[in-house]
Amino acid sequence: MAPDSKESIEAQPLTPAAMVALLALIGVVLLFVAIVFVYVGGWLSPHRLTQDRMMQAFQELDGAHPGFRRNHAKGMCVSGWFDSSGAAASLSKAAVLKAGERSAVIGRFALAGGMPFQADAPGQVRSMALRFLPAGGGGEWRTAINNIPVFPVNTAQGFYEQLLAARPDPSTGKPDPAAMKAFLVHHPETVRAGALINARVVSSGFADSTFNSLDTFRFVNAAGVSTPVRWAMEPLRPVVTEAAAQAARTDKNYLFDDLIAQIRQQPLKWRLMITVGRPDDPTNDATRPWPVARQRIDAGTLTLDAVSSEDGSGGACLWISYDPMVLPAGIEASDDPILSARSAAYARSLTLRAEEKSQKAPSAVTPQEVRALLAGGKP
C-alpha cells in the first residue's frame, strides 16, 4: 500500500454511520481480548481442575483448619544434615550429591490427611519432608516422601476424584461407599496400587520407616546425560514391625512422641537410595512400581539430631513448602503429571495458610510436649 493512498483515505471525514461502526468494532475487539483473558483464567470453565477446586476438595473431605497445610496437616519439625557419598555424582551434577558435600537439612515428619489433630494410627500414611542446603552453595533441593511403595493415583484428576469420593456425606457424616466404589470402577490403577499399599510392612514408627519418592525424577550429569530415577530414604536402624499392642496405644501422638524420645537417645539416620530406571520403566505413572532388579545407589546418609514442635521458636519447618519441584540443577522433573500438580497445590496451600496465619490453632505436638519428652519425661 502506497503511503499516499493511505493518507488520502485518512483525510476523508467519517460519516456518523461509519463512526458508530468503528466504535462498535473497537468495543468488540476489547471484549474479545477480555473474554480470552477470563477464559485462560478458568472463570468460564467450571470443570477445569484448578488450584481453587483442589483446595476446596481437601476442605470438603477434612474440614476447615485455618493456618494448617491442606494435606499432611499433622506434623513436627526436625533438623540435621546430609553427607553425600558421591556415588550418585556420575548421574547428577547436583551440588548436594557431590562427593564429601555436607548439606544442612530442615525437615518435617507428618501424617497424610488434612486433619491436624488426627490420632496417630499404624495404617495412616507417614511422611518425611526434607530441605537440603548444600554447604558449598549451589542449588537447594526439597523433597516430600511417603512410607508407601506406590501412589494410589497417577493424575491430578484422579487425586481430586478420590478426595471427592472419600468426602463425608452431609446427612450421615460418613463417606458414601457407593461413591468410592464408582471411583474405583473408573480407576483400576488405584485398585492395583491399593493392593501393593495394603501389603506393605508397617514399621513401629517414623524412625524405622522407609520413605519413597513415588514420582519419577531425572538426574542430569555434567555431560548432559539424563537418567530416570526414583529415590527412597531407608532407615539405618533395624525395622521393627508394628506390634499389635503398640497399635492400641491411647497416646494420640504416640508416633511423634516415640520419635522425640528416640532422637533424644541418639541421632537418627537414613540412607538415600537412588533407584536407576531403564528406558522402558514407567516414568509418568506413580501407581506402578519399577522392577526390583533395578540398580540401586547409596547416595549418602541423612542424620537427624534435633526435633521441635512446628510452633514456637524451633518451628523452622512450619513455613517451608516442601514443593517437589524445588530442584537444583542436576535434578529435573520427569513427565509424571503429578509433579506439576503438586507444585501448583503446594504453592496454593502455602498461600492460604500464610493468609490464615493469625487464626492458626496450636499444632497437635506442642513445644511443651517436645520439651518434656526431651527432658526424659512423659508427654
CA dist., res. 73 & res. 198, Å (int)? 22
Nearer to ligand HEM, 93 or 342 (CB): 342
The one of another protein, ligand HEM, none whose footprint includes residue 322, by CB under 5 to 8 A per kind, is ligand HEM
Tell me the Cα Rg of the chain. 26
Q: Is 318 in the site for ligand HEM (CB under 6 A)?
A: no
Name the β-bridge partners of 108.
77, 129
**Catalytic choice (65, 72, 186, 187):** 72
Kindly indicate which of the ranges 145-153, 247-255, 259-267, 365-373 contains the residues binding ligand HEM, using the contact rule CB under 6 A: 145-153
Among 190, 227, 321, 334, binds ligand HEM (CB under 6 A): 321
Interaction mask 52-71, another protein, x per CB under 8 A:
x-x-----------------
List CB contacts of 144: < 8 A, sequence separation 6 or more: 72, 127, 128, 129, 130, 322, 324, 342
Query: Is the sign of the CA dihedral 134, 137, 138, 141 positive or negative?
Result: positive
Among 145, 307, 318, 331, binds ligand HEM (CB under 6 A): 145
72 labelled catalytic: yes
Q: Is 110 in the site for ligand HEM (CB under 6 A)?
A: yes
Residue with cell 481480548: 33
Amino acid identity, residue 57?
Answer: A
The one of ligand HEM, another protein, none whose footprint includes residue 268, by CB under 5 to 8 A per kind, is none
Classified as helix, coil or strand, 15 is: coil
Nearer to another protein, 246 or 284 (CB): 284
Among 342, 363, 365, 373, binds ligand HEM (CB under 6 A): 342
Kindly indicate which of the ranges 30-38, 207-215, 285-293, 363-371 contains the residues binding another protein, using the contact rule CB under 8 A: 30-38
Q: Map 190-234 to HEC letters.
A: HHHHHHHHHCCCCECCCCCCCEECCCCEEEECCCCCEEEEEEEEE
CA dist., res. 228 & res. 207, Å (int)? 28
Among 160, 183, 211, 231, binds another protein (CB under 8 A): 160
The one of ligand HEM, another protein, none whose footprint includes residue 214, by CB under 5 to 8 A per kind, is ligand HEM
Among 75, 134, 289, 330, binds ligand HEM (CB under 6 A): 75
Interaction mask 108-147, another protein, x per CB under 8 A:
------------------------------xxx-------
CA dist., res. 76 & res. 99, Å (int)? 30
Residue 260: count other Cβ atoms within 10 Å of its Cβ: 22
Q: Is 161 in the site for ligand HEM (CB under 6 A)?
A: no
List CB contacts of 41: < 8 A, sequence separation 6 or more: none
User: At its nearest, how many Å lie between another protein and the CB of residue 243?
Assistant: 40
List CB contacts of 276: < 8 A, sequence separation 6 or more: 91, 227, 228, 229, 294, 295, 296, 297
The one of ligand HEM, another protein, none whose footprint includes residue 146, by CB under 5 to 8 A per kind, is ligand HEM
Pick from 148, 276, 152: nearest CA to 212: 148
Residue 52: count other Cβ atoms within 10 Å of its Cβ: 12
CA dist., res. 105 & res. 270, Å (int)? 13
Q: Where along the sequence are the contacts to another protein (CB under 8 A)?
A: 3, 7, 10-14, 19, 22-23, 25-26, 29-30, 33-34, 36-37, 40-42, 48-52, 54, 138-140, 156-157, 160, 319-321, 323, 325-326, 328-329, 333, 335, 337, 339-341, 343-345, 350-351, 353-355, 357
Binding site for ligand HEM (CB under 6 A): 54, 69-72, 75, 108, 110, 127, 129, 144-146, 151, 156, 159, 214-215, 286, 321-322, 338, 341-342, 344-347, 349-350, 353
The set of catalytic residues is: 72
